[in-house]
């Protein structure tokens, strides 16, 4: 991003030591402790980065990841090779080694470090699975799922153990709406996030084969840690959650994970993993099946992104042709603040914008036969996050969001008067400062 971050980052490292440390453990597959002693990362210098496969963050893996965790043991029917590790290994192997060499390192896949040691490692760690909706009836079915993971790149040395150098969010999305009863197991949907393309974007394997190589690895030595530390709720949002019968912590967890993934992917920056409401302060652990975990201590973050959900409004009108349906309009108001933290104190926000999203659609009057309002609210917030962060990073997209992004959907003749659409827009209260504040973020 901007030139300012080199001086600020170096100053902060010397004064407050903002680091993410992975404590020493001999259980990381294929990695010993390198002979070097590197206190400050100055570059890979042509060294080897060892790919370590897939792990997970929650200590209570079977409880927190009930659908994903069994996939770690799932093997190809024709061999004993674990499917997920094999898919990601093949994705990385598809990248020309010259790509990594141009970034000043060699990527070692399933080979370990030279001479049994390595100075750098890379690993994917799954943090959460989010079930936004999974409702199935003989009339229709809706499944909305998200998988939250991080690609950690870290250094290894005798003196300081393991230190995270960068943490890039990796997301998987599933949206399935169909007539009739959906018989697909939820676990199979999570597997598809790795192996099957969908309307919701590339697979996780595609991220490793197509997107990771475009990340600015050279910025690791001067880059900042970005973090979604909290998600705030205004009184209107709290009231709305109460009316929907939803837990506030669950809702803020989902938005926090979505904001972290979206900012990291759109901005291509290192994100401190979002800690959900179940996690206490202090360490998290990177866990492997049947192996000892090694621990990671989370910093506060240098740049704080704070989503504030203000409220939402839901309007219903009778459907002109179907007595069993409504015409629904749902509007969500979201504020996003981005602040730089200097020596533990927050500056005046570099970015402070109010946005709104609205969707018009036809829905069944009986709630069990339609996409839930909670799912619609979450999806609109997720789209606001995606479009806003993309606009910050890409000047060409700023005018679109200022003028109003709109997507119209085709529909049946029976619903032709409804004219379903989604609209995303910067609110007039903050629109005059939107473009300048996007520039402010890019200059951090």
Q: What is the tens place of the pLDDT at every residue in 115-173?
A: 446 788 899 999 999 999 999 999 999 999 999 999 999 887 766 567 788 899 998 99
320 confidence band (pLDDT: 50, 70, 90) = confident
More confident residue, 172 or 299: 172
Residue with tokens 């409804």: 418
Alpha-carbon gap, residue 394 to 423, rounded angstroms: 19
Alpha-carbon gap, residue 197 to 272, rounded angstroms: 28
pLDDT of residue 412: 79
Alpha-carbon gap, residue 266 to 261, rounded angstroms: 9
User: For the chain, percent helix, then strand, then coil, each to nearest 5?
Assistant: 35, 35, 35
The closest of 392, 395, 383, 394 to 421, measured between CA atoms, is: 383
- The answer to whether 276 and 228 are in contact (CB under 8 A) is no
- The answer to whether 139 and 369 are in contact (CB under 8 A) is yes
Q: What is the tens place of the pLDDT at every residue in 326-370?
A: 999 999 999 999 998 875 556 789 999 999 999 999 999 999 999
pLDDT of residue 278: 60
Tokens of 33: 């402790």
Over 70: is that where the pLDDT of 260 sits?
A: yes
pLDDT of residue 343: 58
DSSP assignment of 284-297: EEEEETTEEEEEEE
- The answer to whether 285 and 57 are in contact (CB under 8 A) is yes
The closest of 231, 297, 219, 223 to 262, measured between CA atoms, is: 231
Over 50: is that where the pLDDT of 8 sits?
A: no
- Residues 72-100: what's their mean pLDDT? 91
C-alpha separations of 378 from 54, 59, 91, 405 in Å: 28, 27, 30, 18
pLDDT of residue 195: 85
- The answer to whether 353 and 437 are in contact (CB under 8 A) is yes
Which residues make Cβ contacts (< 8 Å) with residue 245, sequence separation at least 6?
A: none
Alpha-carbon gap, residue 214 to 102, rounded angstroms: 11
Alpha-carbon gap, residue 153 to 275, rounded angstroms: 19
pLDDT of residue 28: 46
- Residues 31-47: what's their mean pLDDT? 63
Alpha-carbon gap, residue 332 to 258, rounded angstroms: 16
Alpha-carbon gap, residue 121 to 44, rounded angstroms: 11
> Among 16-25, 65-74, 156-165, 429-438, whose mean pLDDT is lowest?
16-25
pLDDT of residue 275: 82
pLDDT of residue 344: 56
More confident residue, 17 or 279: 279
pLDDT of residue 284: 59
Over 60: is that where the pLDDT of 33 sits?
A: no
C-alpha separations of 264 from 27, 202, 332 in Å: 28, 16, 23
38 confidence band (pLDDT: 50, 70, 90) = very low
Over 90: is that where the pLDDT of 21 sits?
A: no
DSSP assignment of 161-186: EEEEEEEEEEEEEEEEEEES-----H
- Residues 213-222: what's their mean pLDDT? 85
Tokens of 39: 């206190």
pLDDT of residue 410: 87
Over 70: is that where the pLDDT of 276 sits?
A: no
Q: How is the chain split into domains, by residue range?
A: 18-225+270-298, 226-247+302-444
Highest mean pLDDT among 17-31, 38-52, 315-329: 315-329
- The answer to whether 367 and 316 are in contact (CB under 8 A) is no
Q: How crowded is the C-beta side of 425, counted as CA atoms within 13 Å?
A: 13
> Among 124-133, 230-239, 242-251, 296-305, whose mean pLDDT is lowest?
296-305
pLDDT of residue 18: 27
42 confidence band (pLDDT: 50, 70, 90) = confident
Question: What rounded mean pLDDT belongs to the chain?
Answer: 84
pLDDT of residue 281: 43
pTM > 0.85: yes or no: yes
- The answer to whether 368 and 392 are in contact (CB under 8 A) is no
Alpha-carbon gap, residue 444 to 434, rounded angstroms: 16
Query: What is the chain's Cα-based Rg?
Result: 23
Q: Is 270 helix (H, G, I), strand (E, B) or coil?
A: coil
3-state secondary structure 341-399: EECCEECCCCEEEEEEEEEEEEEECCHHHCCCHHHHHHHHHHHHHHHHHHHHHCHHHHH
Residue with tokens 């909670």: 374
């Amino acid at each position: 991003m901007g030139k300012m971050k080199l001086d600020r980052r170096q100053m902060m490292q010397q004064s407050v030591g903002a680091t993410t440390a992975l404590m020493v453990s001999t259980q990381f597959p294929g990695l010993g402790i390198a002979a070097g002693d590197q206190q400050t990362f100055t570059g890979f210098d042509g060294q080897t980065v060892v790919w370590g496969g897939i792990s997970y963050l929650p200590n209570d893996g079977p409880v927190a990841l009930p659908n994903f965790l069994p996939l770690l043991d799932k093997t190809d029917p024709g061999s004993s090779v674990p499917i997920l590790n094999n898919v990601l290994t093949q994705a990385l192997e598809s990248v020309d080694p010259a790509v990594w060499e141009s970034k000043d390192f060699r990527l070692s896949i399933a080979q370990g470090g030279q001479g049994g040691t390595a100075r750098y490692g890379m690993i994917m760690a799954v943090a959460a699975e989010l079930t936004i909706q999974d409702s199935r009836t003989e009339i229709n079915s809706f499944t909305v799922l998200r998988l939250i993971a991080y690609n950690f790149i870290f250094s290894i040395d005798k003196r300081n153990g393991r230190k995270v150098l960068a943490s890039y969010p990796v997301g998987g999305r599933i949206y399935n709406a169909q007539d009739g009863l959906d018989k697909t197991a939820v676990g199979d949907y999570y597997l598809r996030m790795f192996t099957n393309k969908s309307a919701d974007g590339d697979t996780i394997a595609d991220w490793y084969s197509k997107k990771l190589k475009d990340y600015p690895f050279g910025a690791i030595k001067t880059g900042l840690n970005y973090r979604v530390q909290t998600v705030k709720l205004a009184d209107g949002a709290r009231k709305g959650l109460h009316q929907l019968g939803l837990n506030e912590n669950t809702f803020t967890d989902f938005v926090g994970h979505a904001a972290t993934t979206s900012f990291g992917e759109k901005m291509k920056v290192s994100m401190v993993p979002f800690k959900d409401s179940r996690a206490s302060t202090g360490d998290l652990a990177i866990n492997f099946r049947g192996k000892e975990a090694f621990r990671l201590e989370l910093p506060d973050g240098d740049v704080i992104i704070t989503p504030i959900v203000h409220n939402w409004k839901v309007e219903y009108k009778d459907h002109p042709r179907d007595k069993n349906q409504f015409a629904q309009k749902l509007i969500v108001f979201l504020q996003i603040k981005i602040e730089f933290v200097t020596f533990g104190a927050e500056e005046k926000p570099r970015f402070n914008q109010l946005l709104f999203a609205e969707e018009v659609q036809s829905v069944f009057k009986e709630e069990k036969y339609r996409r839930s309002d909670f799912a619609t609210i979450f999806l609109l917030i997720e789209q606001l996050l995606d479009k806003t962060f993309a606009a910050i990073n890409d000047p060409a997209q700023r005018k679109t969001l200022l003028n109003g992004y709109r997507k119209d959907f085709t529909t049946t003749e029976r619903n032709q008067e409804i004219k379903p659409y989604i609209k995303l827009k910067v609110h007039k209260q903050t629109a005059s400062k939107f473009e300048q504040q996007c520039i402010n973020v890019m200059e951090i």
